[in-house]
Amino acid sequence: MDIRAELPGKIVVKPGAKDSLPEIIESLGCTNIVVVTDRNLWSMLGRELENIFGGRGIAFSTVFAESADGNSVEAAKRTIESSNACLVLGVGGGRPIDVAKYAAFLSKRFFISFPTAISHDGFASPIVALKDPQGNPLSIFTRPPTAVVVDTDIVAQAPRRLLASGVGDIIGKVTSVADARLAMRLAGEEIPEISLVMAESAARIVLSEIDELARWSTRGIELLVQAGLLAGMAMSIAGSSRPCSGSEHLFSHALDKFVPERKSLHGEQVGVGTIIMAYLHGLEWREIREALLKVGAPTSASELGVPREKLVECVLRAGELRKRFTILDAVRLNEELVLKILRETKIVD
C-alpha cells in the first residue's frame, strides 16, 4: 500500500541536549521564537533557557499553556502572529507539547518538541489529543515535530509517576498492534507493516528492558525515549494513531469521558487497559501486569482511583467511542464476563 509520510527532521537525545537548541533553531534560519510551556517548568528551566537564547541573540516570547484546550492554542497562535515568530518550541509534558504542536501546525511554523517528561508518546508524534464538546477523543493528525530534542538529564529528574505513565502508554502497543492486525484480517483494513513493526518494537524495548527502566537509570530513560520515538514515527508513517492506539486506548478514552473526576494519567489508564485487552486477545497479560508493577504503574481499579462499577462501564462502552475496529468488535461482552476478567487479572478483588 502507498506510504506518504514525514518524519522528524532532527532528533537529539543526550544529557545537556538543551544546549543544542540554539544551533538547531539557527539551522532553520530562525532568530525569533515562541516558547510554549507551563509555569511550573518555566520556574525550573526559564533562567537557563533565557541565558541559552540570550547568548545567541535568539529573541523569544513565552506562552503558558496551563490547559491543553482551544483557548491555549488560540493564545499561542496570537503570540506567534503578533511576534512574527519563525518557530514554536514546546517545553514540558504532554500539555505544552500538544498546544505548541497544534499552534505551530495551524500557524504553519516549525515546531521543536523539547519534552521534560516522557509521560506518553506525544513528544515525537504528529498527533494532538483533544476532546470534542461531548468528551469524545479527538485525535488530530498534524505534522511530526521539525526537531525532537530530549535532554535526558532533565527527563531523568521528572516525577517517576510521569515516566511510569510513559511506560504504560508504550506497553499499550502490544494490544494496539494486535487490534490493527485483527482489523486487517477481519475488516480488510490496510495498515503499513512497517508502522506495526515499529510500534511492536517500541513495546518490545520496554518489556525486555523493564528492569533497567525500573531503575530509572540513564540507560532506562534513553530506552523509554527511543521507544517513544519509534511509536511517534510509526504514527507518522501510518498516517494516524492506528498502530499505537487500539482497544486499550479506547478504554482510556472511556475513563476520560465517563469518569471525568478521575486523577489518573493517560499512560496509567492505557496500562490497565492493556492488561484487559491482552486477556481478550489471549495474549500474555501477566507479563504486562508484572512490567507495570515493576515501574510502579497502576494495575488495579483502586490504584486508578476508579470505582469498580465505573470500570466495568468503561470496558463495556469503550468500543462506542471511535469507529476503529478492535478486539471489542470481535467479542461479545456483558457485565458478568467483564467482572470475571477484571477479577482474574487482579484489576478488581
Which residues participate in the annotated binding site? 94-98, 116-119, 121, 125, 169, 249, 253, 266
Cell numbers at 332, concatenated:
461479545
The answer to the question of residue 281 lying near ligand NAD (CB under 6 A) is no
Residue nearest to ligand NAD (CB): 94
Binding mask 35-54 for ligand NAD (x = CB under 6 A): ---x-xx-------------
The answer to the question of residue 191 lying near ligand 1GP (CB under 6 A) is no
Residue 140 beta carbon to ligand 1GP: minimum distance, rounded to whole angstroms: 9
Spatial contact of 100 and 60, defined as CB atoms under 8 Å apart: no
Spatial contact of 201 and 93, defined as CB atoms under 8 Å apart: no
Choice from 120, 242, 253, 281 touching Zn ion (CB under 5 A): 120
Residue 60 beta carbon to ligand 1GP: minimum distance, rounded to whole angstroms: 29
Residue 65 beta carbon to ligand NAD: minimum distance, rounded to whole angstroms: 8
Total binding residues for Zn ion by CB under 5 A? 2
Residue 165 beta carbon to ligand NAD: minimum distance, rounded to whole angstroms: 6
183, amino acid identity: A
Residue 129 beta carbon to ligand 1GP: minimum distance, rounded to whole angstroms: 4
Residue 6 three-state SS: coil
Query: Toward ligand 1GP, which CB reaches closer, 128 or 347?
Result: 128
Residue 311 binds: one of Zn ion, ligand NAD, ligand 1GP, none (C-beta under 5 to 8 A by kind): none
Closest CA to 248 of 265, 271, 266: 271
The answer to the question of residue 139 lying near ligand 1GP (CB under 6 A) is yes
How many degrees, rounded to 5, is the angle at CA 338 between CA 337 and CA 342?
120
DSSP per residue, 264-321: --HHHHHHHHHHHHHHHHT--HHHHHHHHHHTT---SHHHHT--HHHHHHHHHHGGGG
Question: Grid coordinates 478486539 are at which residue?
Answer: 327
The answer to the question of residue 127 lying near ligand 1GP (CB under 6 A) is yes
Across the beta sheet with 59-64, what order do the strands follow? 10-14, 147-151, 110-115, 87-92, 32-37, 59-64
Query: Toward ligand NAD, which CB reaches closer, 94 or 279?
Result: 94
Annotated binding site for substrate: 121, 169, 253
